Amino acid sequence: MFSFQISSQHFKIWYSILIFSLLLIFDYLIVHLIGLENTENFRWILLIINFFIFLFLIIFNPFFIFCLILFVLPFSRKIFNFEINVVTFNPYTMGIILLSFYSLYCIFFKGFRYDFDLIDLIITLICISFFISTILADNVIDAGFLAFHAIFIPVVSYFVIKTLINNDFEYKQAILFFIVSISIFGLFALFEYLKTHQRVFVLSVPPISAATFLSVGILYLVYSKWYKNFLGLIGLLISFIGFIVTFSRIYTLTLIFSPIFYKFFKNGKAFFLILFFFLFSFLFTIYITYNPDVININEKQCLKIRSKERTIKRLLNVNFYKCNLYGRAILYKAGIYNFFKKPLFGVGLYRGRTKGLPVITQHNFHVEWLEFGGIFGYLLYISLFILFFKKYSSFVYDNFIVINLLIIFIVLCNSFTNGFMHGKMPYVSFIMMGFTAARYKIIKF
């Protein structure tokens, strides 16, 4: 009887992998090779086919399908990605939405523990606040499209992870799926660099988002000490090489200083560090916004070196740092100006242009939360992270919680000069928050 249960479990796993892989291959062939996605009717047909297959897989083997969906996250933008009105569908967004309904079923009918707390309340209020911002935006469609990825899907990810992971085995299995995926993603980054010898767009993922993923792999493998395993060491080397070719300045600096941050967190000082970081970054943002001339560089100098910014010189040339900071000061001022136009709920997320350059972020989370969400959105986001670090900073005896907090902190450090409300920064942040809440549930109950 015992052997039958083992073989039955193996059958479920391999059968799930087979069907999931065939679905991805089918979607890739349809969307990228045949090109029939250009008609909206066909998109709906494709959506319905995927919906029923995902639904079957989730009913058949829910937790393992969650692991597979998490696995495809770094690749989802390239494999299968199409839009219907304001909604973008890919294996991750579709899978995580369906899993959210399954999670509700587990909570109400299967007795899964969730423990709705103050952090969940603030996340809910963030969703409500930015929904209002979207409704009041000048371009509701555009704002809704961006909010779908910057807020809705990340929040749903948090909810699903907090609900579905209920023991140590499930936690480690889900994390391992994510790390293996990131390591493979790093391999694609290396191949892309060998082709272009420039800062890489990995499978259509922009460099800063690629660096966000790869940072997770590096930090988890190093500080969990899984790199001591041979496969873990290979994964770490691939992730590190892939990270290097993204030429991400802030992530590079924060990874260098991560041992210091890690020691602070292990000593229970995460809450004080995040408070200091928010205060310092806010004061610096205000100062540089209204005093850009202290950077001692001008726009003409920046135009001369901008063409070389996709090479490794962006890490080594001080003028690149000055130019980017000068350009960001201009964006900050534009963002704060927009905040004062709609100070309560902000202007909503948007895509625009500043000095002829396309803008989907103001490259600073303070400015973004103020501009996009107004004073309500800003205070809610700041409160979320402060309370989150306050609640979990005392769990220094659980290394996984410490690593999760470290990852979130490093993403926020990057978001200080690169923005938070775009790319994969909100995805990774809320996923790590979900893993932290799940880990807390495992420890407590």
- Encode the chain in three state secondary structure: CHHHHHHHHHHHHHHHHHHHHHHHHHHHHHHHHHCHHHCHHHHHHHHHHHHHHHHHHHHHCHHHHHHHHHHHHHHHHHHCCEEECCEEECHHHHHHHHHHHHHHHHHHHCCCCCCCCHHHHHHHHHHHHHHHHHHCCCCHHHHHHHHHHHHHHHHHHHHHHHHHCCCHHHHHHHHHHHHHHHHHHHHHHHHHHHHHCCCCCECCECHHHHHHHHHHHHHHHHHCCHHHCHHHHHHHHHHHHHHHCCCCHHHHHHHHCHHHHHHHHHCCCHHHHHHHHHHHHHHHHHHHHHCHHHHCCCHHHHHHHHCCCCCCHHHHCHHHHHHHHHHHHHHHHHHHHHHHHCCCCCCCCCCEEECCEEECCCCCHHHHHHHHHHHHHHHHHHHHHHHHHHHHCCCCCCHHHHHHHHHHHHHHHHHHHHCCCCCCHHHHHHHHHHHHHHHHHHHHC
Mean of pLDDT values over 9-15: 79
Average of pLDDT values for 290-295? Answer: 81
pLDDT over 70 at 406, yes or no: yes
- Tell me which of 39 and 227 has the higher pLDDT: 227
- Residue bearing the bigger pLDDT, 310 or 200: 200
Assess whether pLDDT exceeds 50 at residue 262. Answer: yes
Residue-wise pLDDT tens digits, 147-181: 999 999 999 999 999 999 999 999 999 999 999 99
- Res. 120 pLDDT band, cuts 50 70 90: very high
What is the average per-residue pLDDT within 380-404? Answer: 95
Identify which has the larger pLDDT, 165 or 301.
165
Q: What is the pLDDT of residue 4?
A: 45
For residue 208, pLDDT beyond 90: yes
Work out the percent of the chain whose per-residue pLDDT is above 90. 62
With cut-offs at 50, 70 and 90, classify the pLDDT of residue 1.
very low
Q: State phi, psi for 304 to the nearest 5 degrees.
A: -65, -35
What pLDDT, on a 0 to 100 scale, did the predictor assign at position 426?
A: 96
117-121, 261-265, 297-301, 345-349 — which is least confidently predicted? Answer: 297-301
| CA distances, 246 to each of 184, 239, 412 (Å) | 15, 11, 18
Q: What is the pLDDT of residue 141?
A: 86
Confidence band (pLDDT; 50, 70, 90) for 86?
A: low
Q: Which of 89-103, 263-277, 304-318, 430-444 has the lowest mean pLDDT?
A: 304-318
Q: Does 442 score more than 90 pLDDT?
A: yes
Q: Return the pLDDT at 22.
A: 85
Asked if the model's pLDDT at residue 94 lies above 80, the reply is yes
pLDDT in tens, 19-47: 888 888 887 777 666 655 456 667 777 77
Query: Is the confidence at residue 5, as pLDDT, over 50?
Result: no
pTM over 0.95: no
Who wins on pLDDT, 125 or 22?
125
Share of the chain above pLDDT 70, in %: 87
CB atoms within 10 A of CB 3: 7
* 8 A C-beta contact, residue 340 and residue 346: no
Is it the case that residue 436 has pLDDT exceeding 90? Answer: yes
Q: Mean pLDDT across the stretch 342-362?
A: 76
Taking 60 as the threshold, does the pLDDT of residue 6 lie above it?
no
Mean pLDDT of 257-285: 95
**Is residue 358's pLDDT more than 60?**
no
pLDDT value at 427 more than 90: yes
Indicate the average pLDDT of the chain. 88
Half-sphere exposure in the Cβ direction for 225 (13 Å, CA): 1
